[in-house]
Chain A
Amino acid sequence: MPTIFGSAIKRREDPRLITGSATYTDDVKLPGMTYAAFLRSPYAHAKITRVDVSAARQAPGVIAVYTGNDVKDKAVPVPCAWNVPNCELKIPHHHLLACDTVRYAGDGVAMVVAETRAQARDAVDLIDVDYDPLPAEVDPEKAAQAGAPQFHADVPNNIAFKWVVAGGDAAGAFERAEVKVQLRIVQQRLLPTAMEPRAAVASYNGGSGQLTLWVTSQNPHIHRFLCSVMLKLPEHRIRVIAPEVGGGFGSKIPAYPDEAMVSLAAMDLGRPVKWTEDRSENYKVTIHGRDHIEHVEMCGTRDGRITGLRTRVYAGLGAYASTAAPGIPTILHGLVYSGAYTIPNIEGTVYGVYTSGAPVDAYRGAGRPEAAYLVERLVDTFARAAHLDPVDVRRKNFIPKDKFPYTVATGLIYDSGNYEAALDRALEKIDYKRFREEQQAGWKDGKYRGIGLVSYIEICGLGPSQVAGAVGFGGGLYDSAIVRVYPTGMVRVYIGASPHGQGEETTFAQIVAEEFGIPVETVEIVHGDTDNTPQGWGTYGSRSTAVCGSAVKVAAERVKEKAKKIAAHLLEANEADLEWKDGKFAVKGSPQSARAFGELALAANVGWNMPPGVEPGLEATAFFDPTNFVYPFGTHICLVEVDADTGKVDVQRYIAVDDCGPQINPMIVQGQIHGGVVQGLGEALQEIAIYDESGQLLTGTMMDYAVPKASQMPHIETDHTVTPSPVNPLGVKGCGEAGTIASAAAVVNAVVDALQPFGISHIDKPLTPARVWAAIQAAKASGAGNGKGAH
């Protein structure tokens, strides 16, 4: 039988998705269902002085209208679940609906429940609210200064936390350094833009006291846990179902007030309640990503040895602390400041700052793209200041492949890596020397070509639960699987992870099919329903394959061990004398005696002839808790040409060499890389969420927020190296975020490289034509460049 592990079989999820026969939350229809719509604050910061819902209550079809004060005592404020220690974290109350103050344009003020969705929407317009507007501030650095408007009574200067990471002696390193560079980097706000907006359907059975919540979730068990807290309902009375989920990119990790409100109404009214976000609401209210202002420095020796890195970061949290928000710019950001390099002295200070924007939380990469970006921008800037080639500087500072496991200055222990091999593989795709020659020649003719390299690492496979506890993550980070074999040999696998586009219905089936030597079609992966899946911690942080996939593998091994016992019994042989070959157990040297997996499945399930002391049935449960994170890595290369007349950046080639360990399904890995790169290119070239000074979102629709279109994207050339991880039985790492983590810096490095003749040292993303052109004009005006393009 050909091996299925490592085979690029088609995704079995796709037929139902592309033929419209999948069931998303909005497809759920229940008898007697009602519809909810929210009134949301038009102001970024205001006192609510009066709310009059009387006209809305009288409107056609309206069943109920709830305000903040109506529900304040019925529910617990939305919890923040990542209490990062040692940073004096301040988490203000986030009520399900605003009671007396609104803190961003989109903050919930009231909810209408009506017989139809249109009636609910119409009635929202009839709610009369008086606001007393207050000053807003959306810039996280400005919001942290004395004199800024104050958004929460118990958070002085809006500073939610001050978190410090330090290893070695950064101050000393900078004092002694021969070469020092610094940058001010703005990591703009981004809108996650999952194709399916958020939605929730709640149904409450008054007889059994059971609440069923269908919700767009990346982690239904976390939603069950947090809804239990918010609704003051015992956890075993809550069933959370994440049916088909149309993308998340982090935005469907958090618990939002909206699903809690829908649940409260369902319990209050005794009728099911559905709410579906529209795109405008999605852009205003669903979490945003990034939003850092960073002051960063790197230092080293004249011959290119990097000796220190220092940062001061203002991380905007938005109006409230979303579920994982405090951990994103700290644990998932500051701890990876060493990148792929042996930087002995690191010091980072991160201020988490409340602003008048929508809450900011995990967005594809979550903290790590910001870290990779600042490190890789600094490496290029440092190389140029030292008059060295950026490739040589990377090579010189890589953690050598024979030093793993390697402890970096921030304290993380990298599991495995071979960074130079990935760099070499990527460089094989181009003729670097010739490119540099042509680049210089082109500069003389006003042809601005550039090359951008990024050698990234990321921290994935979150992670050991013990570490989760130590860093204040309000849950475990193990994952789980039940492998259940039916009498006919069909297999169902119930998993704690919650795939929503990652293809794990296919890859996890490949793991099991490989283990049992059975056709992949006979294995089905079940996920997303807390009533039939074991406790898990969800799909994010490129963790599902490394952690949950390993649980699947361990559970399958347990099943196989039992099958072997049964085979030995049936063959009247010693277990030690059996061998597993071609999907069968046979007595060594006696292949005609073989018992296939299907035969053993039937024997176990009917239980007619079990070995003494062995229970009937064939299933096993595994909870897999890794011993460490995994650290995928790779090198991406971007080649650009900039039209200096228009500022337009043309990405001419994009090369991605990634190492996520052994690939279960190369096609799915490639798809994940493609998707990640596209999101990173969007971030680098065109995506930005803009608020005006009063806190109004100016990019509130897809007419103004530039989600990448296929026609705007280059061909992406992918390749890989394979360096297994020692921390899980599959050796796999994770690939969902790699593309995003690498690509934004690759593009910006390339554009800055192309514009060397102008003396431009940095341009903040997104590199829209207008921004690039303005940077060129500013450089020309300041006379920074030599005009000749000397490298």
Chain B
Amino acid sequence: MIPASFEYARAGSLREVLNALAAKDGTKLVAGGHSLIPMLKFRLAQPARLLDIAHIAELRGVSEYRRGARIGAGTTYRELMESDILRERFPLIGEVCRTIGDLQVRNRGTIGGAVAHADPASDMPAVLIVLDALINVRSKRGKRAIEARDFFQGAFTTALVEDELLTDIILPPSPRGAGSAYVSFAQAASGYAIVAAAAIVARTRKTVSHVEVALTGLGDVAHRVESTRQLVGTKAEPEVLDKVAAEAAAGIEIQGDIHAPAEYRRHLTAVAVRRALDAALARAR
């Protein structure tokens, strides 16, 4: 549990961070450190230098953004839970954060760190996908915005390229009256999802007008559930919900492990989708 030797520096500015990334000298960024530091201790990662970005003000906090919200990459889970804007407009974020780690983890772990790390069982990818989030990245070469559904490409693999920094996440406003829910069947040791479903649903009168569901924990990457489109235009009758849930895992490559065989995960997917939709529908106005 002793990492290989490395240098440590605290970044003073965003420019310093972008310069360091552009130099491509093996510098690794650290904010909360909850993914990176265990990897260092196992010597799975042996970077020459760590650059600490936890203190850069531009990367922190939640703010109003075009009736939605802008979340700085360095915002901790605790800050997300305490944000009034998120509580009012995106209660899904707080619901998920409460299930992440423990108090200490939530005090240090950051949303940007989790998103850039892209652990296949982590919670945030599915959440950002259903909220249609935009992920803003910067490098010395310039800025770009990537849709969450395109950002997560595989296990620990994202659309970020070597010199890019994830700076902030934009959440566009959710449809009026939308209800959301997160249902996670967690692995007992790690708390990571064996299968989890994030859902957001809106209705116009009784008819479903908007629905997004995404899954995490099944395989390499979080997935948007295609079968839910059948719900749009229906009154979300139980038979339709059953069908949507049963078909949710179609086309997704599901992996088994020592905690949950693929067959069990496939079954749980339907349960998670159904329960998340039921809860989201119950919350929709």
Q: Which of A353-370 contact B (CB under 8 A)?
A: none
Whether B233 sits at the interface, judged by CB under 8 Å, is no
A770 touches B259 (CB 8 A): yes
B258 contacts A773, C-beta separation under 8 Å: no
Contact B188 A646 (CB under 8 A): no
Chain A residues lying within 8 Å of B1, measured Cβ to Cβ, are 278-280
Q: Contact between B189 and A703 (Cβ–Cβ < 8 Å)?
A: yes
Interface pair B185/A712, CB less than 8 Å apart: no
Inter-chain CA distance A707–B191, complex, in Å, is 12
* Interface size, chain A (Cβ < 8 Å): 29
User: In the complex the two chains form, is B190's CB within 8 Å of A122's CB?
Assistant: no
Question: Is B26 interfacial (CB 8 A cutoff)?
Answer: no
- B76-84, B144-152, B236-244, B260-268: which lies at the interface: B260-268
Say yes or no for A118: interface residue by CB 8 A criterion: yes
| Contact mask for chain A residues 686-724; partner B; CB cutoff 8 A; 1 contact, 0 none | 100010000000110011111100001000000000000
Task: Tell me if A402 counts as interface (CB < 8 A to partner B).
Answer: no
Query: Does residue B2 face the partner (Cβ distance < 8 Å to A)?
Result: yes
Q: What are the residues of chain A within 8 A of B261 when measuring CB–CB?
A: 770, 774
**Does A645 interact with chain B (Cβ within 8 Å)?**
yes
Q: List chain A residues, Cβ under 8 A from B271.
A: 645-646
- Which chain A residue shows the least CB distance to B190? A703
Please indicate the chain A residues that have their CB under 8 angstroms from the CB of B42 in the complex. 280
In the assembly, what is the distance between CA of A704 and CA of B194, in Å?
Answer: 12
Residue contact B2 to A769, C-beta cutoff 8 Å: no
- B104 located at the interface, meaning its Cβ lies under 8 Å from any Cβ of chain A in the complex: no
On whether the beta carbons of A686 and B2 are closer than 8 Å, the reply is no
In Å, the complex CA distance between A699 and B187 comes to 13
Within the complex, which residue of A279, A686, A770, A773 is in contact with B189, where a contact is CB–CB below 8 Å? Answer: A686
- Chain B hits for A774, CB < 8 A: 261, 263-264
Residues of A within 8 A of B190 (CB): 702-704
Is A396's CB within 8 Å of the partner chain B? no
Report the contact-size class of chain B (Cβ under 8 Å from the partner): 20 to 34
User: Contact: B268 with A704, CB < 8 Å?
Assistant: no
Does B4 lie at the interface of the complex (its beta carbon under 8 Å from any beta carbon of A)?
A: yes
With A645-B271, A704-B190, A705-B189 as known contacts, state yes or no: A770 contacts B264, CB within 8 Å: yes
Q: Does the CB pair B185–A704 fall under 8 Å?
A: no
CA distance A117 to B43 in the complex (A): 15
**B189 and A707 within 8 A (CB):** yes
- Complex formed: what's the CA distance from A86 to B205 in Å? 81
Given known contacts A280-B42, A645-B271, A686-B189, A704 and B258 CB-to-CB distance under 8 angstroms: yes
8 A Cβ contacts from A106-155 to B: 117-118, 121-122, 125
A774 to B4, CA, bound (A): 43
Chain B: CB-nearest residue to A647: B264
Interface-central residue, B188, B261, B264, B267, by most chain A CB under 10 Å = B188
A646–B268 touching, CB < 8 Å: yes
Q: Is the CB of A704 within 8 A of B5?
A: no
CA of A690 to CA of B258 in the docked complex: distance in angstroms? Answer: 8
B129 to chain A, nearest CB (A): 23
Minimum C-beta distance from B254 to chain A (A):
13
Would B258 and A712 count as touching, CB distance under 8 A?
no
Residue of B nearest to A699 (CB): B258
Interface centre among A685, A702, A768 (most CB of B within 10 A): A768
Is B189 touching A646 in the complex (CB atoms < 8 A)? no
Task: Give chain A nearest CB distance to B243 CB in angstroms.
Answer: 17
A704, B258: Cα distance in complex, Å: 9
Q: How far is the CA of A434 from the CA of B219 in the complex (A)?
A: 45
Minimum CB–CB distance for A225 against chain B, Å? 32
CA distance A279 to B263 in the complex (A): 32
The residue that B188 contacts in the complex, of A117, A118, A686, A690, with Cβ under 8 A, is: A686
Whether A768 lies near B189 (C-beta < 8 A) is: no
Residue in chain A with minimal CB distance to B274: A645
Q: Are B188's CB and A712's CB within 8 A?
A: yes
Would you call B2 and A768 a contact (CB within 8 A)? no
- Residues in B whose Cβ lies below 8 Å from that of A646: 185, 268, 271
CA distance A703 to B119 in the complex (A): 13
Interface residue from A118, A647, A698, A707 paired with B258 (Cβ < 8 Å): A698
CA distance A645 to B278 in the complex (A): 15
Binding site for B on A (CB under 8 A): 117-118, 121-122, 125, 278-280, 645-648, 685-686, 690, 698-699, 702-707, 712, 768-770, 773-774
* A-B contact list, 10 entries, CB within 8 Å: A117-B2, A118-B2, A118-B5, A278-B2, A279-B1, A646-B268, A704-B258, A769-B260, A774-B261, A774-B263
Known pairs A706-B188, A768-B259 / 5 extra A-B pairs, C-beta < 8 Å? A280-B42, A645-B271, A690-B258, A706-B187, A770-B194
